Amino acid sequence: MRSFATKRWAGIEGLTLLVVAIGVLTTSSGLILAGIIGFGYAAYTKLWDAPVADVSIDRELGDEAPAPGETTGVTLTITNTGSKWLSDLRVIDGVPPALETIDGPARIGTSLRPGETTTCHYTVSVVRGKHTWDSLRLITRNPSGSRERETVCEVSTTLRCTPPLHAGANLSLHGLTTPYSGRVTTDVGGYGIEFHSTRAYRSGDPLNRIDWNRRARTGTLSTLNFREERAATVILLVDSRKEAYVAAEPTGRNAVERSVDAVATIFSSLISNGDRVGIATMSPTECWIAPQSGKTHTARVQEALATHPGLAPTATEGTLYHTLWFNRFIRRLPADAQVVFCSPFVDDRPIYTARRLHAYGHLVTVITPDETTADTIGDRIAAIERQHRLQTLRGNGIRVVDWGDEPLPTAVMAATQRWSQ
């Protein structure tokens, strides 16, 4: 970038001329001599340009793969590799937008002679995701500060923070199941635990399913049927459109981050129960992992939750063409799949999505992180609108887990109790 004048010395020439003029008019040699000092300053501001920052910068992370909630140190080492003295150098690091500096500023103001090195250290608080540092901004000034120049320096650094998958919330699924055994209780009689019905004995029925009490009472043989427990196919869908990146606190965890946390918890819970689980996003950067089970699949999902741009902790640019997205999504969705939809429901688009999925025969359960507050009139209106949307969903027979400040398992348990009433 070209240097530019800061104009911080603007007016020095005028003052000098005034002093000299008064000196000439009053024939005072002292004032004329004093004016010479002013001319010296005026010349000083014009003498040098802001130097080009010819430096080498190294960025080092304390831990390149910390766990969510941990902190990690960042050390910048700046060396003047040019031949010019950088009398006034300011270096501002490009901390990733999702990370917050908690110790020390991510910048330094210094003066570097040729070959001299300085360091800057700060600590960031880490959240889930793949975080890439932006360019460093180097600002140099000439000694008088009359000219300034900005240079951008690329130093590639990436920090990966993968959330652990641990089951916590046992979400009660709908009865839409696959032929495989699992934990969802069905209305089909067969093998299981819970009593379903009795039927006439057929040759070959196992002895432990014969109703011996009835045999003793009536003399006829009959067989006990239990409710079969089968596995479900579930898609965990995250609303990560730009609109969904809302938070009750400006720098707090946003709704998409909470949705991804919910997906991580529910995924591990379902997969450990033998269900086939997949991941999808409703976002411009689409993410689709087909429902499967097994360790490889779990590892793939864990990686996607950490690094997929569609699940980034801050909003990404791009436009979502909803109709196109929905058509593609519905084509991919297995016929027997049910959907767990995580969205803050701050606009009407998620309602439309949930209702259409429901209409297509895919049972939908909504988990909605509540980011509304009552701080301003606008926030209160948004809270009422959200309440109305959730009521509309419930009216359509869609299960809703309204997730406030409490832990997710508590919210799920409360919702499950409501559903069973």
Partner 1 sequence: MSTTAQRLSVGWVAVFGVLTIGVGFTALLVADVSELLTLTGTFLTLVGLFALVQGVRYTLSGKETDRAHITLGDPEQRKAAPSPGSALTDDVAVIVAGGRSAANRRRKLRTKLRALAVQSLVARRGLSEQNALSKVDTREWPTDRLAVTFLSNTPYPPRDRVRAVLFRQSLDRIAIDRTVTEIETLWNEDEQQQLADRRTK
| Residues between 323 and 352 that touch partner 1 (CB under 8 A) | 344, 346
d(CA 390, CA 372): 13
Q: Identify residues 30-59 at the interface with partner 1 (CB under 8 A).
A: none
Report residue 102 as tokens: 């908690």
Give the amino acid at 289: I
d(CA 139, CA 109): 9
> Is residue 18 part of the contact set for partner 1 (CB under 8 A)?
yes
Of the residues 175, 379, 418, 419, which one makes contact with partner 1 according to CB under 8 A: 379
Closest CB 220 distance from partner 1, rounded Å:
54
Q: How far is the CB of 376 from partner 1 (least distance, A)?
A: 4
* Residue 376 interacting with partner 1 (CB under 8 A): yes
In angstroms, rounded to a whole number, what is the distance separating the alpha carbons of residues 306 and 164? 10
Which of 61, 210, 383, 413 binds partner 1 (CB under 8 A)? It is 383
12 sits near partner 1 (criterion: CB under 8 A): yes
Nearer to partner 1, 148 or 228 (CB): 148
> In what helix (H) or strand (E) does residue 302 lie, and over which residues does it extend?
helix 295-307
Stretch that binds partner 1, among 17-25, 163-171, 200-208, 273-281 (CB under 8 A): 17-25
Nearer to partner 1, 42 or 188 (CB): 42
Kindly tell me which of 93 and 261 has the beta carbon lying closer to partner 1.
93
Q: In what order do the strands lie in the sheet with 71-80?
A: 55-61, 71-80, 117-125, 100-103
| Binding residues for partner 1 restricted to 229-258, rule: CB under 8 A | 245-248, 250-252, 254
Selection from 64, 60, 52 nearest residue 120 by Cα: 60
Token pair, residue 409, equals 């398992």
Q: How far is the CB of 51 from partner 1 (least distance, A)?
A: 15
Residue 252, amino acid: G
**Residue 418 in the binding site for partner 1 (CB under 8 A):** no
- Residues in the interface with partner 1 (CB under 8 A) total 72
Pick from 218, 213, 259: nearest CA to 236: 259
Sheet holding 147-153, edge to edge: 4-5, 147-153, 134-141, 86-94, 107-112
Q: How far is the CB of 320 from partner 1 (least distance, A)?
A: 18
Site string for partner 1, 82-121 (x = CB under 8 A): --------x-xxxx-xxxxx---xxx--------------
Check if the beta carbon of residue 166 is closer than 8 Å to that of residue 265.
yes
Supply the minimum distance, in Å, between the C-beta of residue 118 and partner 1: 18
The answer to whether 270 and 182 have CB atoms below 8 angstroms apart is no
**Smallest separation, CB 68 to partner 1 (Å):** 14
Q: Which of residues 115-144 bind partner 1 (CB under 8 A)?
A: 122, 134, 137, 139
Hey, which residues between 260 and 289 contact partner 1 (CB under 8 A)? none
Site string for partner 1, 179-198 (x = CB under 8 A): --------------------
Question: 261 Cβ partners below 8 Å, 6+ apart?
Answer: 128, 163, 408
13 binds partner 1 (CB under 8 A): yes
Binding mask 203-222 for partner 1 (x = CB under 8 A): --------------------
What is the DSSP secondary structure assignment for residue 273, as one 8-state letter? T
- Distance (Å, rounded) from C-alpha 86 to C-alpha 230? 71
Could you give the CA distance from residue 281 to residue 342 in angstroms, rounded to a whole number? 9
Residue list 385-404, contact with partner 1 (CB under 8 A): 385-388, 391-392
Smallest gap, in angstroms, from Cβ of residue 292 to partner 1? 33
In this chain, which of 164, 179, 204, 378 binds partner 1, going by CB under 8 A?
Answer: 378
Q: Are 185 and 194 in contact (CB under 8 A)?
A: yes
In the set 88, 148, 228, 229, which binds partner 1 (CB under 8 A)?
A: 148
Q: Which 355-374 positions form the footprint of partner 1 (CB under 8 A)? A: 371-373
Shorter beta-carbon distance to partner 1: residue 249 or 299: 249
CB neighbour burial string for 260-278, b if at least 16 within 10 angstroms, e if fewer: bbbbbbbbbbbbebbbbbb
Output the six-digit token pair for 389: 């949307």
Q: Are strands 181-200 and 276-282 parallel, antiparallel or unpaired?
A: unpaired
